[in-house]
Amino acid sequence: MKISDRESATALIERWRTDPFGVLGPHCVGKKRWEIRVYAPAADALVALAIRDKAALCVLHRAHNSGFWIGELTGDKRPDYLLAITCAGVTTHTRDPYSFGLILDTDDLLAVRGEGPRQAYESLGAHRRTLDGVDGMTFAVWAPNATRVSVVGAFNDWDSRTHSMRFRHVFGVWELFVPGLEAGILYKYEILGPDGVCLPLKADPYAFAAELPPATASITQPLPQKRMADGAKSAPAREQPVSIYECHLGSWARIAEDGNRYLSYRELASRLLPYVCDMGFTHIELLPITEYPFDGSWGYQPISLYAPTRRFGEPEDFAFFVAEAHRLGLYVLLDWVPAHFPSDAHGLAKFDGTYLYEHADPRQGFHQDWGTLVYNFGRKEVEAFLVANARFWLERYGIDGLRVDAVASMLYLDYSREPGEWVPNRFGGRENIEAIDFLRHLNKTANSVSGGAITIAEESTTWPGVSRPVWTGGLGFSFKWNMGWMNDTLRYMSRDPIYRRHHHSDLTFGLLYAFSENFVLPLSHDEVVHGKRSLLERMPGDRWRQFANLRAYYGFMWGHPGKKLLFMGGEIAQVREWDHDSSLDWHLLEDPMHKGVQDFVRDLNQAYRDCPALHQRDCEPDGFQWIVGDDRDNSVLAFARFDLGRKNIIIIVCNFTPIPRYDYRIGAPRVGFWREIVNSDWEKYGGSNVGNNPGVSTESIESHGFDCALCVTCPPLSTIMFEWTPD
């Protein structure tokens, strides 16, 4: 169709924003006759030039006062051209975005649904590409119900009229190639919903970088190179030591003299990572670092799941942080949040004017506890978005594992809901079938990544098989947080020792189910916020007893079956609750009692790593045996831990009263000398230095079902460990 009059031009202008490639760019209007059509409302003059020698092909004239320009030329084939655009006396040369063909091929489009050989993040989002020999940036976004989508940014003065996108109808994807764009450009999407209402500008769900909040734009950023061979070892199996230091990067330490600013990723790499190594932890777990708008959410309400938060630096700085952790022998875990997302206008909420990523029914799509939205796990494109995101962090940044937040809220349709506030599944049950399928898909994907990444579920119910393989009917996680152990033991430790005899089962009950899952014992950030007090402040008694109780509790935890997790500050006996807006109280280490707790945690980690009996069979009943489990009157526990070959044996004895127990007889699983390797009451930790140094030898006395016994001294409020030593 040739534009020959104002009426035709007006008709096309009304159409071009929903079908820009049907109107703009080069169009054949007759035999060997072509029109070049450009929408450039700010232009004063336009000329189409030959690409090779920049000779003028045609001068475009303004066909409509809205900024619609047309030029005519003749030729046998579709013209290739360069646009010379003059605005306010300045002329720039650029290729016409509407002169290029289709961008996404079949494999790209299949990836949007999680099908085919590519990942969704390799197709959608902003990618630096070369098309027909021209460098630029491709943009692609899933918005199937939109009437129009435009990419806007600093490169076009945020004018949605100039870069409307092509719609790939079958897959619901909009695409556009913008020549000349490079990394570091701010952009968003302007979306016209199906009702004709223009939505607030949306950040790119697949953006690899984002502005520092409160700014909300996405940033063009190269796709990170795969980093799985970055020096990280294969992720540890359940037979390996796993001692996790849970960390919030924004409050581990700050620079007070510089306005209480954050440490950067590179500063954290040089300060935090060596500290974690020195403390003997095997893993560092980061509270969510996917870009989030509200500091008070601690990262648990993310907006840009593919972008490391800019609070601490650039994406390449975060990559350096991970690489440095691996160089030091540390594994890096990320807290990952697929259970919900915030309703911020620039985020995923009603992304194309409809309930796209979330359920339309608030009984399914709204989290009452957190005021957030719930993903529609039954939608292929949503599942692909999340599974590809997990793979992105594992493959592109070399992350060693994911701790998946709020799994219980995903599994149950009636989670935190009253009758009538939830929708049953197709069988009439309360199980979220789509979420179960998603979690299994997630875990199979993580397991397929080179080396096999670990996944850890924060799951607070008795859902069976959380950490069992998918092929057995389990969810496929590597580990599960043992919330029951944490609640029972913290409740016990908060009681005055005079009453503990009446609550002895709080310590022993966990062994009834300790091997039903692969457990992590968590003393996490959730236990030191919202008025719960710090771990130290929850311990009863005077100052000396509080510290003794805390050390004894840590000793019990490190001796107990299960992997270990401690939130930052716990290792220095932080007095106040955690505050995400300020640094940990590192000055406390000037006090010998706080320094003693730190030294004790370091030595516990050393013993845990050095003694196979303390970690190899954390998840197997054959690695544990009660010696004394019923002495509630004295609040004493004793148990043995065994390695895979039963060559290394550790006996753990706990006395949870302030009364020392002398000549306390316990059975021993092997004859010989038992060296005291850990004692929470040693003087160097701030204790009273009661103990069994260097150790004790067995006596030929039957006790507790064993052929020989040890006669030991149990210090007050203590945990001690003995290692069998061959003659």
- Specify the pLDDT at position 230: 47
Using only C-alpha atoms, the chain has a radius of gyration, in whole angstroms, of 31
Query: What pLDDT does residue 560 have?
Result: 98
Largest Cα separation within the chain, whole Å, is: 111
In CATH, the number for domain 261-456+467-480 is 3.20.20.80
Q: Positive or negative CA dihedral for 306, 310, 314, 319?
A: negative
CATH superfamily of 6-99: Immunoglobulins (2.60.40.10)
Cβ-proximal residues to 552 (8 Å cutoff; 6+ apart), any chain: 654, 655, 656, 680, 717, 718, 719
Q: How far apart are CA 405 and CA 384, in angstroms?
A: 18
| Angle separating helix axes 380-396 and 433-448, nearest 10 degrees | 30
pLDDT in tens, 518-559: 999 999 999 999 999 999 999 999 999 999 999 999 999 999
With cut-offs at 50, 70 and 90, classify the pLDDT of residue 375: very high
What is the pLDDT at residue 161? 86
Give per-residue pLDDT as tens, 655-680. Answer: 999 999 999 999 999 999 999 999 99
- Residue 232 clears pLDDT 50, i.e. is over it: no
Cα(307)–Cα(323) distance, rounded to whole angstroms? 17
The percentage of residues in the chain with a pLDDT greater than 90, rounded to a whole number, is: 89
Q: Hey, what amino acid is at 1?
A: M
Strand partners, 721: 652, 678
Say what the pLDDT of residue 227 is: 78
Q: 117: buried, middle or exposed (CB in 10 Å: 19+, 13-18, 0-12)?
A: exposed
pLDDT in tens, 605-646: 999 999 999 999 999 999 999 999 999 999 999 999 999 999
Q: What is the mean pLDDT of residues 705-717?
A: 96
Average pLDDT for 242-262: 95
Q: What is the pLDDT of residue 19?
A: 83
- Residues with a catalytic annotation lie at 405, 458
pLDDT for position 235: 45
Is a pLDDT exceeding 80 seen at residue 228?
no
Intra-chain end-to-end CA distance of the chain, in Å: 98
- For CATH 2.60.40.10, the residue range(s) in the chain are 6-99, 106-219
Query: How confident is residue 237, by pLDDT bands cut at 50, 70 and 90?
Result: confident
Q: Outline which parts of the chain fall under CATH 3.20.20.80.
A: 261-456+467-480
The whole-model pTM stands at 0.94
Residue 540's CB: how many other CB atoms inside 10 A?
Answer: 15
Please check the confidence at residue 5 and state whether its pLDDT lies above 90.
no
Rounded to the nearest 10 degrees, the angle between the axes of helix 543-559 and helix 483-493 is: 150
Instruction: CATH 2.60.40.1180 in the chain: give the residue spans.
Output: 621-725
Q: What is the pLDDT of residues 51-102, one digit of tens each?
A: 989 999 999 999 888 888 999 999 888 999 999 999 999 999 999 999 999 9
- For the chain, how many helices (H) and strands (E)? 16, 36
Q: What is the mean pLDDT of the chain?
A: 94
User: Mean per-residue pLDDT for 259-283?
Assistant: 97
pLDDT exceeds cutoff 50 at 125: yes
pLDDT at 11: 59
For residue 266, pLDDT over 80 is answered with yes
- Give the CATH number of domain 106-219; options: 1.10.1040.10, 1.20.120.530, 2.60.40.10, 2.70.70.10: 2.60.40.10
CATH code of the domain occupying 621-725: 2.60.40.1180
d(CA 160, CA 188): 10
pLDDT of 229: 43
pLDDT at 318: 98
List pLDDT tens digits, range 337-370. Answer: 999 999 999 999 999 999 999 999 999 999 988 9
Only one residue has tokens 């060559």, namely: 647
Which of 30-34, 67-71, 682-686 ranks highest by mean pLDDT? 682-686
Q: Read off the pLDDT of each residue in 392-409 and give the average, rounded to a whole number.
A: 96
pLDDT over 70 (residue 12): no
In the three-class reduction of DSSP (H, G, I as helix; E, B as strand; rest coil), residue 474 is classed as: coil
Q: Is the pLDDT of residue 34 over 50?
A: yes
